[in-house]
Structures are given as structure tokens and as C-alpha cells.
Amino acid sequence: MEAIILVGGLGTRLRGVISDLPKAMAPVNGRPFLEYQLAYLKSNGVDRVVLAVGYKKESIIAHFGNEFLQMEIAYAEEEKPLGTGGAILNALPVTKEQQFYILNGDTIFEISLNKLQKVHQEKKADLTLALRKVQDTARYGAVTTDEYGRIKGFLEKGETEGEGLINGGIYFGDREFFEQISYQGNFSFEKDVLEQEYGQQKFYGVGFDDYFLDIGIPEDYKRAQHEFKRLGY
């Protein structure tokens, strides 16, 4: 099992807290955040990870090298910002499997990866998203699905509130799907692919209640210092 983690972003909103580090290296109880993500993947049976690195990538490469927790670590290096979409395409040549997971580099979402993969295969999907059930979708925007789990829409922040499903930042997909994406250079996977192509592509979502934390803003980064103590990694 193989995964790509997108860790190339600038981490602008955390700059005042971790000014000299990429967001993935933000310390949580003395350990880089990325260590927790890798430990989670290890616990779910992933044995090879491609880190899509960019901003201050040297610190990530120096820390993790080519192996961590007996998982092979490889790198897809971007020389200029590529956005989430460009980073995924840049990582494709470094991957080895025909199917793989993709994770945002600033989120812990403790789902069962096997369940996500099982639904993907049952539905013969092009891409399957892990969706988080939340009490208030206002901060994130929302994802809507039909009764079979097929995605039927994305609502922006400010267009939605109350209980619903949000994009949890974990995807499972087939190489063929990513290879047919027509965009090049710097583009957003969420805005340019997911939100534009859900009507033509077989995108499915699976809702989960599992622990979820996005450290992208200082308040939630501070929360991680307390809450991660119970994760047991």
C-alpha cells in the first residue's frame, strides 16, 4: 500500500507560530507533525510513502531520509509552487502502485483506510474521498452526496452552515484517473478538479466520525499539543 502526502505548502497561516519551518515539521509535543501522519499510515498497513515537498524541503528530507518506521520514503520535489493539483501530478512518476492514497499534509484524520479502499473498489469509482461529519460546516464548506454516496456537489465557505460532511483531505484513486487530468503547472486539485469534474467523473464519498484535526490555523495547532497526547503513536 502506497500513499502520497502533500507537504509542499507555504503554511502562511502558521507563519507567526513556526516561522522557520514547513508546516509538516511543526512540532507537536516535541515531534514533527509529519511523524504522526506517518505513524498513522504505518498503523493502516501503508509501506511506501511519497512526500510531495516544496517549501523548505531540505528540513523534511534531512529528518526522514529514505526510511521511517520501516516504511520506504521517497520524494517528489517541486522547484516552484505547484498547488495541490500540480503537486499530485509531480508525484505520479515517483509512485509505483496502480492505486494509492493521497493525504493533505496538515491534517490527521484517523479513518480506516481499508474501508475507504473497499468502497472505492465496490463502486468502481474514479476517486473516493474520506468525508468528516461535523456539527458546523461553516468554516470548511460542505460536500453533498446522493443516497449511494456519489458526490453531487461542493458548497463554499459562507454558503453553508450546520451539520454536514466536509472534505477530510484523504483520497483513494487509480493512476489512470490522475494521468488523464489535463491541467499543468500550478493548480488546485480541490477547485480545478474536484469541484469542476464531479458531474462527469465517478467521485464517491465515505462519511467517518473518527478523530479529525487540521492544524492549518494557530488555534488548532495549539489544540494538537494537548489532543495528540492521547493518540498513542
Give the integer Cα–Cα distance in Å for 74 and 62: 12
The structural domains of the chain, with segments of one domain joined by +, span 2-230
- Note whether 142 and 155 are within 8 A (CB): yes
pLDDT value of position 15: 58
H helices of 92-217, in order, are 113-123, 175-179, 195-197
| CATH for 2-230, options being 3.90.550.10, 1.20.1250.20, 3.40.50.1820, 3.30.930.10 | 3.90.550.10
- Note whether 177 and 127 are within 8 A (CB): yes
pLDDT in tens, 60-96: 999 999 999 999 999 999 989 999 999 999 999 999 9
166: which strand partners?
A: 132
**Whole-prediction pTM:** 0.93
Average pLDDT across the chain, whole number: 91
